[in-house]
A and B are shown apart, each in its own frame.
Chain A
C-alpha cells in the first residue's frame, strides 16, 4: 500500500505524488532525475534551477510540449512524457 493515493503517468509508469507537489519534485522523489534530451546532442536533462527560470526541465504534459516540470503542479491522472529535442515534429 503506497503512502500516496494520487499519481500521474510518466512514460507508461505510475508516479505517486503528494497534493501540491510539482511533476519535477515527484519525479525526483521517485528516483527519476532526467526526462528530456537536448536538441543538438541528445544529452539528458532534468531539474536545474527548480524555480522556472532555466527551462532545462521541460517535458510533454497531456500532449503539450515544453512544460516546465518544476512549475506544473501534479494532478491525479495526468500523462507526462519524456521530451526529445524540441518536443515538436522535426519535419
Chain B
C-alpha cells in the first residue's frame, strides 16, 4: 500500500511515523519545510487535564501512550519530551467548585486528577492568594518542531519520501471514482492508494481540493516569550477558565492564562483566542492582557523581560473536535486535521487511528469511542461546510 500524507506538521509527520511502522509506503508533501505552520507556533502541550470525557479524551489518552512510545524510539531528550505534569489553578472559589466537579468526571474516565492542599508545594512561585488547584501528573510537554522533524526522519529511515515545495491542486480518480493520487499545482502527478489530509489550519482548502470539504477555520493565538530564567515554573500551569474558553465559539477575543517553562529557560505565556481569519497583525492590548493574567498567578513575572511574541492559527472546527477518518464522499481520502489548540498532544493518536483505518484494524473493531471524530458529521451539512471552506479559500496564500 502507498499513502500520500499532505502536510509535514506534527500531525502529518506522526501519520508518516505510524504508517511506516506498519511497513506502509509513504510520501509526505508540503508547500513548506517540516513544522512551518501551526506546529511552530504553539507551546507543545500534551494534556489530559483540559479534556472532558468523550472522543477527544479517548484520543488524548491513546496519544499520550503513543507519545511515550515515540519518545522511546527517537530519544525523549531529543524532542524535549517531559512528563512534567499539569497544575490547574482556580482564581475564584466558584471556579474551584467547577474545577473539582470537572475532575470528578475526568477520574471516571481514568484520568489521574489530584486535589492539591497547598498549591505552593507544587509551584513555590504561585501567588499565595489563589483558592486552590488540581494536579494532573499525566500532562506532558514536548518541543513540537523537534518532534515533527524527528518523526519525519524516522519515517524517512523506513523508506518514506518527503517532497517539500509541492502544493495539492486536486485528486486523481480511478474509473470507479475512488481517489488514486494527487495532482500538484506544478503539474506533477503522484499516484497512491490513499491520501491523508493532514494540512492543519489549511485542511479545509486541501479537503475541498480532494473532493471532501470540511469546515476548518483559523483561530488566532498569541504566545509571549520571556527572557531565559532559572527554573521558576515546574509544571504546565493554567487557570480553570481555559477549558471554558476552548469550548466557546465566540468570534471576539478570549483569553485565559497558560504558563510554562521550557528546556531553554524561557517562560511561555498564552493563550488568546480570536477568529480574525489569517490576520497576522500584532495586538498590543492582547499582549498586555496575557501578561497581566500571568502576573496575577505568578507575581515574579512582573519583573521579567519579554523577548518576543509569536502568533499562530489553530485549526478550528465549529464543534471543537478534530476530523479523523475516511471521507465517505471521496473514497481514498482520509482527514487528519482540525485539532484546534490540541494538535501537538493529539498528533500521535491521530497517526495510530489513520493507520488503523487504512490497515482495517479499526474497521473490524469499529472503536465506537472515535466515531464522533469521523468526517461523516459534515456530510449533508453542505451549506455550513461551503461557507466555511469558501472563507478559508479566500485567504489561502497567507501563512
Given A55-B307, A66-B305: A90 and B230 within 8 A (CB)? yes
Q: Inside 8 A of B307's CB, which chain A residues have their CB?
A: 55
A89 interface residue (CB < 8 Å to B): yes
**B264 to chain A: closest residue by CB:** A39
A86 interface residue (CB < 8 Å to B): yes
Q: Inside 8 A of B228's CB, which chain A residues have their CB?
A: 39, 66, 86
Given A55-B307, A66-B305: A39 and B227 within 8 A (CB)? no
Find residues 43-91 in chain A having any chain B CB closer than 8 Å to their own CB: 55, 58, 65-66, 85-91
**Contact digits for B212-235, partner A, Cβ 8 Å, 1 yes 0 no:** 000000000000000111100000
Cross-interface CB contact of A89 among B227, B230, B265, B305, cutoff 8 Å: B230
Q: Inside 8 A of B230's CB, which chain A residues have their CB?
A: 85-86, 88-91
User: How many Å from the CB of B308 to the closest CB on chain A?
Assistant: 9
Contact A65–B265 (Cβ < 8 Å): no
A34 to B227, CA, bound (A): 19
Given A65-B227, A66-B227, A91-B230: A86 and B305 within 8 A (CB)? no
A88 to B229, CA, bound (A): 7
Find residues 173-232 in chain B having any chain A CB closer than 8 Å to their own CB: 227-230
Q: Inside 8 A of B229's CB, which chain A residues have their CB?
A: 86, 88
User: How many Å from the CB of A29 to the closest CB on chain B?
Assistant: 26
Give the B interface residue count (CB, 8 A): 7
User: How many Å from the CB of B48 to the closest CB on chain A?
Assistant: 31
User: How many Å from the CB of A64 to the closest CB on chain B?
Assistant: 8
User: How many Å from the CB of A85 to the closest CB on chain B?
Assistant: 8
A85 to B230, CA, bound (A): 9
A88 to B228, CA, bound (A): 9
Q: Inside 8 A of A88's CB, which chain B residues have their CB?
A: 229-230
A65 to B229, CA, bound (A): 10
Most-contacted residue by chain B among A55, A85, A88, A90 (CB, 10 A): A88
User: How many Å from the CB of B143 to the closest CB on chain A?
Assistant: 15
**Contact digits for B282-323, partner A, Cβ 8 Å, 1 yes 0 no:** 000000000000000000000001010000000000000000
A65 to B307, CA, bound (A): 12
A39 to B227, CA, bound (A): 12
**Contact digits for A11-47, partner B, Cβ 8 Å, 1 yes 0 no:** 0000000000000000000000000000100000000
Q: Inside 8 A of A58's CB, which chain B residues have their CB?
A: 227
A91 to B300, CA, bound (A): 14
Q: Inside 8 A of A55's CB, which chain B residues have their CB?
A: 227, 307
Contact B265–A39 (Cβ < 8 Å): yes
Q: Inside 8 A of B227's CB, which chain A residues have their CB?
A: 55, 58, 65-66, 86-87
Q: Inside 8 A of A87's CB, which chain B residues have their CB?
A: 227
A4 to B199, CA, bound (A): 59
Q: Inside 8 A of A89's CB, which chain B residues have their CB?
A: 230
Q: Inside 8 A of A85's CB, which chain B residues have their CB?
A: 230
**B263 to chain A: closest residue by CB:** A40
**Contact digits for B242-275, partner A, Cβ 8 Å, 1 yes 0 no:** 0000000000000000000000010000000000
User: How many Å from the CB of B234 to the closest CB on chain A?
Assistant: 15
User: How many Å from the CB of B262 to the closest CB on chain A?
Assistant: 12
A88 to B305, CA, bound (A): 12
Q: Inside 8 A of A86's CB, which chain B residues have their CB?
A: 227-230, 265
User: How many Å from the CB of A88 to the closest CB on chain B?
Assistant: 6
User: How many Å from the CB of A81 to the closest CB on chain B?
Assistant: 16
**A66 to chain B: closest residue by CB:** B227
**B300 to chain A: closest residue by CB:** A88
Find residues 305-346 in chain B having any chain A CB closer than 8 Å to their own CB: 305, 307
**Contact digits for B156-173, partner A, Cβ 8 Å, 1 yes 0 no:** 000000000000000000
A87 to B230, CA, bound (A): 9
User: How many Å from the CB of B263 to the closest CB on chain A?
Assistant: 10
A65 to B303, CA, bound (A): 10
**A53 to chain B: closest residue by CB:** B308
A87 to B305, CA, bound (A): 12
User: How many Å from the CB of A25 to the closest CB on chain B?
Assistant: 21
Q: Inside 8 A of B305's CB, which chain A residues have their CB?
A: 66
Sampled A-B contacts (16; CB under 8 Å): A39-B228, A39-B265, A55-B227, A58-B227, A65-B227, A66-B227, A66-B228, A85-B230, A86-B227, A86-B229, A86-B230, A86-B265, A87-B227, A88-B230, A89-B230, A91-B230
Interface residues of A (CB under 8 A from B): 39, 55, 58, 65-66, 85-91
Sorted nearest first, the 9 A-B pairs with minimum C-beta distance are A90-B230, A66-B227, A86-B228, A86-B229, A66-B305, A86-B230, A88-B230, A88-B229, A86-B265
